[in-house]
Amino acid sequence: MLLPARVECAIRLERQQPQDIVTPSGLWTVLKGLRLRMRKTNPFDWLRRVYVTGPLSRADLAEIENVTPGHVGVVIRQALNRGLLVEGGPAPSNGGRPRILLQTNPDFAKLIGIDIGRARIRFVITDFVGKLLHYDWLPTGSFTGKDHLLRVVHDKLKSHLAQFPEIAAIGISHSGVIDPHAGKVLFWPMVEGWEDTPLRQIFEDVSGLPVSLGDTVRATAVTEERFGHAKGLRDFLLVRVGWGIGSAIFIDGRVYIGRDGLAGELGHTTVEVNGERCSCGNQGCLELLSSASAIVRRVRSELERGIDSSLRRELGENLDQLSVEVIASAAKSGDRLSERILSEAGTYLGIALASMVNFINPEKVILAGRVPQAAGETLLNPLLYNLRHRALQHTVKDLEVVVSQLGGEAAPIGMALIAGEGVLKARCEEIAGRTTRGQKWLDTSQKGENPIIGNLQGSQATGRESRLAACDVSPCSSPVRDNPNNPLLPPR
């Protein structure tokens, strides 16, 4: 039986057996299965793939998603008309008709990311694909409590929204324990007053924009996946060792958050059975031994006990100037106290990581944060020794452990990208609805309506549409870290 070329192609895709002959009696069943699967297809999965991995052709998408090229073409055409995607140059070809690459439109919207950490509150403005346009920060320690901090963040946010009226969504990361489903900070270890704080609702109410709330470490991992050492990886573990300790677990290209969004709380893993009491209520937590706060506290305690160290001669009685960076510098200069504390921190980190590596068997472990970036081999050597000797040999045989080159701006950029996914999903739901009903795509942007905020926010966005205008923004001229290898920072 002769079939139209498109139907024959669809049958081959469906059955994945090009050599099979489809009889007339089986054709209707195959086509019904195809129609059902096409109806269930979510355009967000396709456009997210372009958003995350970068340029792809229509044929690439059809092959990856195992659907007909014609069905891909319908959705892509609507996304192009709406401005979600733009066509780039041709893909490399060995002959034949060149494939045109599709990429996310960086000018579709601007996004704002905010990271509330124990030391700093960071703000970034990015384009729709995460390019850094503006960066600034405030010291967390200058605030007298949660309410004061939130008021200042709100004032800063209000200023940025006035300066960048194209902002379509807000992403906020927080270094406390987060319930991302409820949009709450459950508690913040070592910081009082944050129990069950509905952070997402607070900022949605004051901004009239969609707000995504996430964990600082997971947000950092998103940026690492997009721009850093995890680019192209499906399974990896990121461990951030700063004032606290946390981890982000990526499995099959997606961040794993667990039933209640609490997966990855590595800092509250017990590594010393009879250790000190932690603010979480447990004893002997990793965070009490290997975090920046623990390292500074332990070195200071030893200095106050009279232990000889070059730090005493360098700082005198002004021990408030102690930091991980100062301790790491002293260790590299041969200070035995600093070497010992950093080495012990690395040992406990290696013990905890051995268990994590056995559990999830990642392709790569990425160490982020102030401690590994400052301490270098003094921390890494004992960490790697314990990791490789305590984990199963097959799990660590080809395991790569690297230190992130990204700075503190990684977390708010990651949250901006997560917020951008929310905007993308909302637009794709509209595409899916119009595709199913067969209605013509309405280009509301040509009617003077904000194509992003208008449909996402409804009445809350009233008044913001009229303020949309092109925004000439210079790249950040004062990045948080002076790292020439940081891929997030613009060239000088």
Query: Are residues 62 and 146 both part of a single domain?
Result: no
Encoded tokens for 361: 């068997």
Residues ≥6 apart with Cβ < 8 Å to 35: none
What's the pTM value of the predicted model, to 2 decimals?
Answer: 0.79
Query: Are residues 46 and 134 both part of a single domain?
Result: no
Query: Are residues 250 and 358 both part of a single domain?
Result: yes
Residue 22's pLDDT is what?
Answer: 54
* Residue 53 CB coordination number (10 Å): 15
Q: What DSSP character marks residue 406?
A: -
Query: Are residues 380 and 250 both part of a single domain?
Result: yes
Query: Are residues 305 and 374 both part of a single domain?
Result: yes
The region, left, alpha or beta by phi > 0 then psi within -120 to 50, assigned to residue 145 is: left
* Cβ pair 410, 122 in contact under 8 A: no
Q: What DSSP character marks residue 472?
A: -
**350: nearest Cα among 402, 299, 389, 324:** 389
The region, left, alpha or beta by phi > 0 then psi within -120 to 50, assigned to residue 143 is: beta
Give the CATH number of the domain where residue 218 resides.
3.30.420.40
Query: Are residues 207 and 238 both part of a single domain?
Result: no
Query: Are residues 354 and 437 both part of a single domain?
Result: no
Residues ≥6 apart with Cβ < 8 Å to 66: 13
Query: Are residues 251 and 172 both part of a single domain?
Result: no
* Cβ pair 471, 164 in contact under 8 A: yes
* End position of a domain, from candidates 357, 388, 403: 403
Tell me how many domains the chain contains. 3
Query: Are residues 171 and 274 both part of a single domain?
Result: no
Q: Rounded CA gap, 295 and 280, in Å? A: 19
**214: nearest Cα among 163, 169, 251, 253:** 169
Residue 27's pLDDT is what?
Answer: 57
Give the CATH number of the domain where residue 19 resides.
1.10.10.10
Encoded tokens for 110: 């601007």
DSSP string, 343-355: HHHHHHHHHHHHH
Query: Are residues 198 and 118 both part of a single domain?
Result: yes
**67: nearest Cα among 137, 155, 135, 6:** 6
Residue 473's pLDDT is what?
Answer: 28
Q: Rounded CA gap, 395 and 393, in Å? A: 5
Q: Name the CA dihedral angle for 137, 140, 143, 144, rounded to a multiple of 10 degrees.
A: 170
Residue with tokens 């319908």: 74
Q: Which residue segment(s) compose the domain that 383 sits in?
A: 233-403
pLDDT averaged per 10 residues, the chain (length 492): 46 46 55 49 83 88 82 87 90 76 95 93 97 93 85 94 95 92 87 90 95 95 95 95 94 90 91 89 94 95 92 87 95 96 97 96 97 96 97 94 94 97 91 50 32 34 34 32 53 48
* Residue 454 CB coordination number (10 Å): 17
Q: Rounded CA gap, 206 and 302, in Å? A: 47
* End position of a domain, from candidates 45, 69, 104: 104
Residue 16's pLDDT is what?
Answer: 46
Residue 3's pLDDT is what?
Answer: 45
Q: Rounded CA gap, 150 and 141, in Å? A: 13
* End position of a domain, from candidates 87, 104, 121: 104
Query: Are residues 132 and 209 both part of a single domain?
Result: yes
Q: Rounded CA gap, 67 and 47, in Å? A: 14
Query: Are residues 362 and 244 both part of a single domain?
Result: yes
